[in-house]
Structure formats: structure tokens, C-alpha cells
Chain A
Amino acid sequence: MTADATRLQIRSERLFNGLVVGIVVAGFLTLVGVAGYGLYVMGQNVTFTRWVSHTYEVEGAISDFLILDERTETARRGYLLSHDEVFAQSAARTSQRAARALDRIGALTPDNPAQQAFLARMRPLFAQQQQAVIVSMAFARAGHSDSSQFYHDSGVEATRLIRRLAEQMTEEETRLLRLRNAAQEAALDQLLWIAVAGGVLLVFVATGSTLVILRYTRQLNRSQRELAQLNAGLEDQVATRTADLQRANEEIQRFAYIVSHDLRSPLVNVMGFTSELEAAAKPLGVLLERAEAEAPQIVSEDARAAVRTDLPESIGFIRTSTQKMDRLINAILQLSRQGRRVLTPEPVDMVRVAQGIADNLKHRSQELGAEIEIAPDLPVVISDRLALEQIFSNLVENALKYLKPGRPGRIAVTGQHQGGRMVYEVRDNGRGIDPKDHDRVFDLFRRAGLQDQPGEGIGLAHVRALAYRLGGTVTCQSALDQGATFRVSLPARLSIQGSAS
């Protein structure tokens, strides 16, 4: 995939993601809108219900008034016919109740100008009718029983008018109810439409989201498959590289072994014939002495120097050089032999290993007045015991070797578990190592600082080679005069596939 295509894909993906978020947000907004409108309509409905019951109340009040008014009229007529006082009392009672009913209508409809107008017309009519009732009954009580007068009574007309007015008022209320009903129905219709529209939109959003999720899932699956393939490839690569490295390592080991081995043969000759030369020089010395004694004139200064000084000196130099070379070759041999050794991982109690090393070095540490402290909580590691013993004994020995004169030596071995690895430290308060030499000290035949201690510069090289073989690392932290800390980090469990056979 080219960079341009990648960028394009990233941009389109970003666009797509934005779109998805937009759709989802729109869907949610729609839901919220529909729900909000529904709540609003419900609130409206409650108000409407209240208004409906109000209307019924008003209508009830009107009909109450009308009935009471009619009963007053009926009671008047009853009295006029029978002159029974019961009718007169009934008329007075219902008349009062009718007046109260009229007042109630007024109290119920203060906000309705139409009803107030009707009421304004109703009140004088009612008063007129009541007046007629009182007058006619008083007239009758006085002994006039002419019923013809009743027909000219204004009360009858007023009652008819009141009836009509009341009907009009009821109609007015009914009209209002109709209006409110229509508004309510319109609102419900609207809610229905909005709900339908919201539903459709939601279906779209849901479909869109499902499609998007499906597409994403497919993409994710594809990516996972690709990743798995890549991983497998990577593992193969690692395996190949590891095999290559192992081969290279074995090659170097073999090379080191053969070279050091073959170097020894000529060295045997050099040393052997040097000794032969030395042996041959002896009779020469004797000869020189005899010549000096018997015929001093034949002994030249050159001959004397050659036999007495040059020859022994030369032989001495050859000898020390070959001895040194022998030590170096032995060191290489030892290293290559370590590299060829088969590692056997086993649980190793590091406290015991360190304690063993400290015990072995007890004599020397006591001589030097140094103390070796071993932390009781050194973690157990699954690794090769011999290699570990070699590593830590070299490190502790080194610490003892390079103590600061005049400062009581303190060497501490500590360790801890650090995420799948065991990290051990050998810390001393000795003379320390200049930071510029930190890499050098691990090189074969290289040493740092004052060269006042015997050694070939092999110990730390050996430590590093062993640590590498155990799948670990070794690092140095130190400054001149500040002591040194060597940190060995090892895998908690050594895998044996790395060991050469």
C-alpha cells in the first residue's frame, strides 16, 4: 500500500467515522424530540381534561340553576292553585338555591366574556321572575284567586327567557368543549405523525448503525487475520534469525577452540626449544669460564656479553611472553569450552549459591577485612547452576579484588523479581570504575584502572559470555571511588533451545 493510498484511506475512514457519529447523534436527538413532544402533549391532555371537567361543571351548574328555577316556578303555580303554604315554602327555598346556583355559574366563568354577558342578561330576568313569584303569591294570599291574571304575569315570560338563555349558555360551553376537543385531536394527530416520522428515522439510523457495525466487524476481523499472519511471519523470522545467530555463535566457538588449540602446538615448540637453548647455554657458560681461566686472551667482550647477559635475557623475555600467551590461549579455550557446555536448567536457590561463594572466599575476605552480605530474599531462578556459580563467583571475586585500600570492604548481593526476569546485583564500596571504561571491562583481555592486581582481563568477559548464554545481560554502574554495582538480569526460566549441543 502506498503512502498516498494510506493517507486517502485514513481520510475516508475519518470521514466515515464522523458520519457514523453524526447519524447516531441524529438518532438520539430524534428520540429525545419525540419523547419531549409526547410529554408536552400529555401535559396538554391533562389541562384539556381539566377544562372538560370544568365545562361539565359549568353545564351542571347551568342545569342546576335551570331546574331550581323551574321548581320555583312549579311551586308558585302549585301555591296559586292550591293555596297550600307548603308550596310557598318550597318556592322560597328553591328560589334561594337558584340564586346560589346562578352565583356559582358566575364564579365558574369569570374568564369567559360570553358567559358573563349571558349572566348579565340572566340576572335581571331572574330577579324579575323572583319578583313576579313573590308578588303573585302575596296577591293570592290576599284572597285573589283569579288565575287569568297569572297569564299576564311577567314571571312566565321571564322563565321562558331564562330557559332559552340557559340553553344558549349550555351551547356556549358545548362549543368551547368542541373547540378544545378539536385542538386536542390535532395535537394527538401531530404526535402520531411525529412518532411515525421519528420511528422511520430510527429505523434508518438502526439500519445504518447495523451496517456500519457489520462493516467495522468485517474490517476488524480482516485486520486480526492480517495481524495473525504478520505475527506468524515475525515468529518465523525470529526463529530463522535465532538459528542464524546460533550457527554464527557455534562457528565462533569452534573457531576460538581450533585457533587456541592450534596456537598451542607452536607454543610448545617455542617453550621447548627455549628450554633447550637455556640448557645449551649452560655448557657454553662453563666453556667461557674455562677459557677465561686458561686463555683469557681469546675471550672477547662480545662473547662474554652474549653468554652472560644477552642469551639469558633473551631467553627470559621469550619465556615470559610465551607464558603470557599460554595464559591467554587457555582463557580463550576455557571460554569456548564454556560456550560448548550443555546448559541444564533447574531451580537454583540463589541464596545457597551466593552463600557457597562467600564461604569459598571467606579466607580472602577475612584477610582483607571485607564483609560479604547476602540478602535472604534472593529469588529462585530456573537456570544453569554451574554458569550461575561461575558468574557470581567472578563478580564477588572481582569486588574483593578491587576494594579501596583503607576503606573496610562491604559487598552486598541482592536480588528481586522484575516482570518475568530476575535481577541480581553485586554491589561493593571499592575503588569503582570510570564510566568511560564500563563497556571495556567486559571485553576479553581488557582491564581498567590501576593495574596493580594480577589478572588477564578474563573474568568479566566470561561473566558477560555466560550471562548472554543464559539469555541474560550484565551491566555495570559505577564511578571512580564510588564503588561498583554489577547488575545481572536473567530470564526467570531459561529455555534450553538456545543451548548449543
Chain B
Amino acid sequence: MSEQRHVTIVMIEDDDGHARLIERNIRRAGISNEIRHFADGASALHYLENDNTGPALNGPALVLLDLNLPDMSGIDILARVKSNDRLKRTPVVVLTTTDDKVEIQRCYDLGCNVYITKPVNYESFADAIRQLGLFLSVIQVPEVEGNG
């Protein structure tokens, strides 16, 4: 667990309520990693690619991605992340309300690591997030190469 402590969870989620619920449930699962929340795609991308504390320059990180964003589609962010040499190994968990088969396939095709549909039923939702937390606690995140 201590190894994962410095892995930053980058949460890209335009709905503050969802963000709060996700954060609470992750915490309830016992995950205490830093969670950076971005409500729009542009600032999230900037953090991921250019921020000094961001995963591209300082890693490692895990991305929680919502597909419905006000300024761009989460799919575009996913494509950008997976086509970036420094970011492509960063795990991306798509966490969204869309359960369209085609959409899910597209995300996996683009290199998404896990796709989770947000259940409307809150118990299921909380459950899913907590399980995600457990998952995050065992997942091994690669170090960014050329870290400096």
C-alpha cells in the first residue's frame, strides 16, 4: 500500500456532485492517495501533459475519466493520453453514465484499461466505487520513464 501512496488519482468529472460522491466512496474504501479533480477537459489535459506535478513530468498517476464533459468528449482525452508517449502507460478508468455498447468498445479500442458504468442506484454506485478503490489499492502503476 505504501508503494501506491504517491500515485495521484486524476479525476476528470464535470459534475461536482459525482466528484464528491466518488471521492467519498474511494476514501471509504481506505484509499488515501491524493485526488486531483478537474471539471473540464482542457485544464485536465494541461495538468496531465504540462504540469510540473502532473504525470507526464512527474508521475505516476491513475486517471478516472468521465466521457461527458462540457468542453470536449472524454474520448478525445482518452485518445490524447494513449497517444502520448509519456502518458500512454498511465491506467485510465472510464467512469461514466454511458452504457452504449459501441461507446464501450471504442474506449477499449483506444486503450482504456477499465470501463465502469455509473449505476444510478446509489448502493450499486457506492459499491462499484469502493471496489474500484480496492482495485486501485492492488494495481501496479508503472513509473514514467525519463522521470525528471
**B126→A268 contact, CB < 8 A:** no
Instruction: From A265, A271, A274, A329, give the contact of B15 (CB < 8 A).
Output: A265
Residues of B within 8 A of A359 (CB): none
Chain B residues within an 8 Å CB radius of A322: 120
Complex interface: chain B residues within 8 A of A224 (CB): none
Q: Compute how far the CA of A268 lies from the CA of B98 in the bound complex, rounded to whole angstroms.
A: 13
Do the beta carbons of A261 and B68 come within 8 Å of each other? yes
Contact digits for B43-73, partner A, Cβ 8 Å, 1 yes 0 no: 0000000000000000000000000100000
Q: Across the interface, do B100 and A265 meet the contact criterion of CB distance under 8 Å? A: no
- Whether a CB of chain A sits under 8 angstroms from the CB of B6 is no
How far is B18's CA from A23's CA once the two chains are assembled, in angstroms? 93
The CA of A329 and the CA of B98, in the complex, are separated in Å by: 13
A405 to B97, CA, bound (A): 42
Chain A minimum-CB-distance residue to B120: A326
Of the candidates A268, A274, A323, the one having the most CB atoms from chain B within 10 angstroms of its own CB is A268
Question: CB < 8 Å: which of A268, A275, A276, A337 contacts B97?
Answer: A268
**A269 CB-CB contact with B under 8 Å:** yes
* Contact residues of A between 264 and 308, Cβ < 8 Å to B: 264-269, 271-276
Q: Is A262 an interface residue (CB 8 A)?
A: yes
Q: Which of A262, A265, A271 has the most CB of B within 10 A?
A: A265
* Closest chain A CB from B28 CB (angstroms): 10
Contacts A275-B126, A337-B100; is A267 near B120 (CB within 8 Å)? yes
Contact of B68 among A265, A271, A272, A326 (CB under 8 A): A265
> Which residues on the A side are within 8 Å of B89 (C-beta)?
none
Instruction: Decide yes or no whether B125 CB sits under 8 A from chain A.
Output: yes
In the complex with contacts A261-B97, A262-B68, A268-B123 CB distance below 8 A? no
**Cβ of B98: which chain A residues have Cβ within 8 Å of it?**
261
- What CA separation (Å) do A265 and B119 show in the bound complex? 10
> Chain A nearest CB: distance from B49 CB in Å?
27
Give Cα A408–Cα B125 distance, bound, in whole angstroms: 44
CB distance from A422 to the nearest CB of B (A): 30
How far apart are the CA atoms of A107 and B17 in the complex, in Å? 143
Question: Please, how many residues of chain A have a CB less than 8 angstroms from a CB on the other chain?
Answer: 19
Contact of A271 among B24, B100, B120 (CB under 8 A): B120
Closest chain A CB from B29 CB (angstroms) = 15
CB distance from B67 to the nearest CB of A (A): 10
A272 to chain B, nearest CB (A): 4
Judge if B118 is at the interface, Cβ distance under 8 Å.
yes
- How many residues of chain B are within 8 Å of chain A by beta carbon? 16
Closest approach, in angstroms, between the C-beta of B105 and any C-beta of chain A? 14
Q: Is the CB of A268 within 8 A of B122?
A: yes
Give the distance to chain A from B9, nearest Cβ to Cβ, in Å. Answer: 19
A266 vs B98: C-alpha distance when bound (angstroms): 14
Q: Is the CB of A268 within 8 A of B100?
A: no
Q: How far is the CA of A121 from the CA of B121 in the complex (A)?
A: 149
Task: Find the A residue at minimum CB distance from B97.
Answer: A264
* Docked-complex contact A326 and B121, CB < 8 angstroms: yes
| B134 contacts partner chain A, Cβ-Cβ < 8 Å | no
B21 at the interface (CB under 8 A from A): yes
A276 CA to B18 CA in the complex, in Å? 12
Q: Are A271 and B122 in contact (CB under 8 A)?
A: yes
Interface string of B121-138 (1 = CB under 8 A from A): 111011000000000000
Q: Verify B21–A272 contact, CB threshold 8 A.
A: yes
Most buried by A among B24, B68, B122, B126: B122
Report the Cα distance A272→B128, complex, angstroms.
Answer: 13
Separation in Å of the B128 CB from the closest CB of chain A? 11
Query: Hey, which chain B residues are within 8 Å of A265, CB to CB?
Result: 15, 18, 68, 97
Kindly name the residue among A267, A272, A326 whose own CB sees the greatest number of chain B CB atoms within 10 A.
A272
Quick one: which of A273, A326, A329 contacts B17, CB cutoff 8 A?
A273
Q: How far is the CB of B101 from chain A (nearest CB, A)?
A: 8
Q: How far is the CB of B12 from chain A (nearest CB, A)?
A: 14
Q: Is the CB of A268 within 8 A of B17?
A: yes
Closest CB of chain B to A9's CB: distance in Å? 60
* B68 neighbours in A (Cβ, 8 Å): 261-262, 265
Which chain B positions have C-beta within 8 A of A337?
100
In whole Å, how far is A233's beta carbon from the nearest beta carbon of chain B? Answer: 39
CB distance from B104 to the nearest CB of A (A): 13
- Return the CB mask of A322-349 against B: 1 if under 8 Å, else 0: 1100100100000001000000000000
Chain B residues near A267: list those with CB within 8 A: 120
Given contacts A261-B98, A264-B97, contact A269 B123 (CB under 8 A): no
Chain A proximity mask over B15-26: 1 for CB below 8 Å, otherwise 0: 101100100100
Cβ-neighbour of A274 out of B24, B118, B122 (below 8 A) = B122
- With a cutoff of 8 Å between Cβ atoms, the chain A residues found around residue B126 in the complex are 272, 275
What would be 17 A-B contacts, judged by CB atoms less than 8 Å apart?
Answer: A261-B98, A264-B118, A265-B97, A266-B17, A268-B17, A268-B18, A268-B21, A269-B17, A269-B18, A271-B121, A271-B125, A272-B18, A272-B125, A273-B21, A275-B123, A326-B120, A337-B100
Q: Spell out B's residues near A (CB within 8 Å).
A: 15, 17-18, 21, 24, 68, 97-98, 100, 118, 120-123, 125-126
Q: A261-B68, A269-B15, A272-B122 are known contacts; what are 19 more A-B pairs with Cβ within 8 Å?
A: A261-B97, A261-B98, A265-B68, A266-B15, A268-B17, A268-B18, A269-B17, A269-B18, A271-B121, A271-B122, A271-B125, A272-B17, A272-B18, A275-B122, A275-B123, A323-B121, A326-B120, A326-B121, A337-B100
Q: Could you tell me which A residues sit within 8 Å of B by CB distance?
A: 261-262, 264-269, 271-276, 322-323, 326, 329, 337
